[in-house]
Amino acid sequence: MGLDDRMRDAMRVDDDGRERGDVGAVRRRARARVLRRRGAFGAAVMIAVVAIGATALATRDDGGSHPPAAVAQLPVDAQLAMSKVPRATPDSTDVAKLVAANSQFAFDLYHQLAKANTNLFFSPSSISTALALAYAGARGTTASEMANTLHFDKVPGNELHAAFNALAQELLAPRTSADKGRKPLQLELSNSAWGQRGYTFLRGYLDTLARYYGAGMHLSDFERHAEAERVRINSYVAQQTKGRIKELLPPGIIDGMTRLVLVNTITFTAQWRVPFNHALTELRPFTRLDGTTVSVPMMHRDEARDVPAMQGDGYLAARLPYAGGASMLLIVPDAGHFGAVSAAVGPAMISSIDSRLTSGWTEVWMPRFDLEWKQSLNETLQTLGTRAAFGNADFSGMDGTHNLFISGVMHDAKVHVDEDGTKAAAATAAVMELDAKLSGITVDANRPFIYLIRDDATGAILFAGQVLDPPVTSVG
């Protein structure tokens, strides 16, 4: 992320705590504001904002069961504070377990979000990583609920963050393309934390951010300049996502109670290994779930030997490869079977599809489309089992107190699919405040379909979504 190592020494260590105010009253007021904000939207960035009472700042909760820990007070005159520990050497021992855990969460999330019966596009990779930044400071019930929801409990407790580090390094490894004239895909990831100047965080938490996520703490002044800091974070996200995500944090989500914002971004730019011919794109009918039709620009590839396909029970599937080691898995349910196929999407179904995909003379029809999906994930995460984090939370691993809770989890994602390839970006923010062999198959996505964009080497699901009603655009 371009963090300047010279800033590492800017972090001062202070073992003296400050007096706490009436945390209970402040927390109740903060919760009331959170409930009013539930409808707010976010970007494809995961932001965690942690807020505490205006006068509450303690080095540890004396009633807690965890031992005292070294604290670091964020300097008031620096721009960045970062732990002196270096980024950990990647250890791939538990990467496969983490990919399986993140994939299960991706499907859990898809099933919840798909209930809205709308076009959908999100990055489970971004959401999992952003929540992992918050999970690093969670303790007790808060930690166990998050681990269960995110399936982090499938990875040995002490190895989770090391696995995230190794997975990120593998995804960011240089890509090559063996296809003449096709550029290898570009995948960029970033993690960052934005903390209140002068606030005291545990040194161990800052070590974890640096060691496993390459993140330092951008010093902010939420107390006096909340709106300016919101604009600054949004500008950072826009820069990291190449201008694709411009307004991750809506007005009002950051206020004087904010103490920490955790952000993850992901950008993906890839060309198809074999592009669709622009001249073959034509307006054709797309049949919606209710039986009505709309004319959309449909891309066409005939006799695509590089597209393995299969026919399942009530659906067709094809894998469209990108240059550089990723692919789109396209699942097109038969007419009248979308609900059943959508409900069945999960590890077993995807594994079955992968094992049965067979190269042949595949003909592909697919709409060109642009989608943006923005939403708060607060209610969805609570439905999936993470409840304490949004109320009676224990994030004492961050600052040694029980003063912080997640007030908002925002996600914003955009995707553009055309004849040449795919461009996608997503950001997630957690805001925390106080308190069969097939030959000659035609895969025609002229009806609602589901799609996953995956890294070929690790199987990590980078993006997922469904198209029920593609936007109408011109053919040219």
pLDDT digits (tens, 9 = 90+) for 78-119: 688 778 899 999 999 999 999 999 999 999 999 999 999 999
Identify which of 461, 187, 170 has the alpha carbon closest to the alpha carbon of residue 324. Answer: 187
* pLDDT value, residue 450: 93
pLDDT in tens, 192-229: 999 998 888 999 999 999 999 999 999 999 999 999 99
Task: Identify the structural domains of the chain with CATH numbers, from first to last.
Answer: 12-271+372-434 (3.30.497.10), 278-369+436-467 (2.30.39.10)
Give the per-residue pLDDT at 259.
93
Q: What is the chain's mean pLDDT, rounded?
A: 84
- Going by C-alpha positions, the residue among 6, 321, 381 that lies closest to residue 179 is 321
Q: Rounded CA gap, 375 and 218, in Å?
A: 25
What is the total residue count of the chain?
A: 476
Least Cα distance to 182 among 360, 321, 367 occurs for 321
3-state secondary structure of 385: coil
The pLDDT tens digits for 237-296 are 999 999 999 999 999 999 999 999 999 999 999 999 999 999 999 999 999 999 999 999
What is residue 278's DSSP assignment?
G
Give the pLDDT of residue 401.
Answer: 87
Instruction: Tell me the pLDDT tens digit for each residue of 35-47.
Output: 333 333 233 333 4
157 touches 142 (CB < 8 A): no
* Structure tokens given for 444: 């025609």
Q: Over pLDDT 90: what percentage of the chain?
A: 71
Q: First CA to last CA across the chain, in angstroms?
A: 38
| CA atoms within 13 Å, Cβ hemisphere of 1 | 27
- The single residue listed with the structure tokens 């919760």 is 31
Task: Report helix angle 160-171 to 203-213, nearest 10.
Answer: 30
pLDDT the model gives residue 472: 55
The pLDDT assigned to 75 comes to: 65
**Predicted pLDDT at 271:** 96
> What are the C-alpha distances in Å from 289 to residues 184, 338, 382?
36, 8, 29
Q: What does the pLDDT read at residue 441?
A: 83
As a whole number of angstroms, the distance between CA 122 and CA 413 comes to 5
CA–CA distance, 325 with 334 (Å, rounded to integer): 29
Specify the higher pLDDT residue, 147 or 76: 147
Token look-up 């699919």 returns: 417
Using the structure block, give the residue that is written with the tokens 């080095």.
Answer: 59
Q: What is the pLDDT of residues 315-363, one digit of tens each?
A: 999 999 999 999 999 999 999 999 999 999 999 999 999 999 998 888 9
Confidence (pLDDT) at 27: 43
DSSP E strands: which ranges in 96-159? Answer: 120-122
Here the tokens at position 462 are: 């980078």
Q: Is the pLDDT of residue 72 over 80?
A: no
Q: Could you give the 3-state DSSP secondary structure of residue 470?
A: coil
Radius of gyration from C-alpha coordinates of the chain = 23
Summarize pLDDT for 376-419 with one digit per residue, the tens: 999 999 999 999 999 889 999 999 988 899 999 999 999 999 99
CA dist., res. 109 & res. 104, Å (int):
9
For residue 74, the model assigns a pLDDT of 65
- pLDDT tens for 130-176 read 999 999 999 999 999 999 999 999 998 779 999 999 999 999 999 99
- What does the pLDDT read at residue 73? 67
Predicted pLDDT at 189? 97
